[in-house]
Amino acid sequence: MDRKEIAARLAVVRERIGEAAGRAGRAPQEVRILAVTKAHGKDLVRAALEAGLTDLGENYVQEGIAKMEGTCPGARWHFIGRVQSNKTRAIAQHYDWVHTLTRERIAVRLNARRPAESTPLNVCIQVRMQYADARPALPAEEVPGLAALISAQPRLRLRGLMGMPMPDAPRDAYLRLRSLFDELNASGLNLDTLSMGMTADLETAVECGATLVRVGTALFGPRA
């Protein structure tokens, strides 16, 4: 897939975002696109950057680091996989964002391993959007405590919340995450990122307040 094809796909995604934002009375510019390049090669990453994408998301630490070498220095790399303790040094040293923080111990390790000469590592807390979901994520009632700890770490910057709904999740799941986001800001936190929504559900996410959507298939096609 070349830059031209990715650019055409990107235009379709932006149109979808624009229509959803319009229905919610929002400006399309309020929503950023995080291009998920998992399982795609370095050539596609370069093509994506040439097409105008600047935020790239990876699920596997070393796979992402390998793609960073030789690509545009202006790219922002987001880690969107589960953070393992033995990977915190590599994540802290190479990535710009982490979307999946759920544990205090991991936050402390990321802070300690972030190079002093680097800007603070941008982080989002991953929140469980549905009670029946058994995947790793933090229950909503535990988020304020972790948020306070992250805010006290000098090498971390708490940017917001991330949610990953189950298939066919009800609209209420998105609205609950948006409500928690608003409550945290009302308590004094200066959050600017609500990361929810992917290829299949980005319209619902945007209508419910997402400021960042994580899109892979719609931009690059299905993974091999």
The CATH number given to whatever domain includes residue 101 is: 3.20.20.10
> Stretch 73-101: mean pLDDT, rounded?
95
Tokens 């790239």 belong to residue? 56
Asked whether the beta carbons of 191 and 159 are under 8 A apart, the reply is: yes
Task: Look up the domain containing 108 and give its range.
Answer: 3-218
Mean pLDDT score of the chain: 95
Domain-embedded: residue 145:
yes
Residue 34 has pLDDT above 80, yes or no: yes
Helix (H, G, I), strand (E, B) or coil at 121: strand
Domain-embedded: residue 55:
yes
The reported pLDDT for the residue numbered 224 is 60
Query: Which structure tokens are listed for 13?
Result: 């995604």
The reported pLDDT for the residue numbered 211 is 98
Nearest to 178 by CA among 189, 167, 193: 193
The reported pLDDT for the residue numbered 41 is 84
The answer for residues whose C-beta is within 8 angstroms of residue 181's C-beta and 6 or more apart is 160, 161, 191, 194, 209
Domain-embedded: residue 223:
no
| % of the chain exceeding 70 in pLDDT | 99
Domain-embedded: residue 95:
yes
| pLDDT tens-digit series, residues 114-155 | 999 999 999 999 999 999 898 889 999 999 999 999 999 999
| pLDDT tens-digit series, residues 40-68 | 888 889 999 999 999 999 999 999 999 99
Q: What pTM was estimated for this model as a whole?
A: 0.96
Domain-embedded: residue 152:
yes
Domain-embedded: residue 224:
no
The reported pLDDT for the residue numbered 73 is 73
Name the CA dihedral angle for 206, 181, 34, 91, rounded to a multiple of 10 degrees. Answer: -170
Total domains present in the chain: 1
| pLDDT tens-digit series, residues 176-194 | 999 999 999 999 999 999 9
Q: Is 168 left (phi over 0), alpha (psi -120 to 50) or beta?
A: left
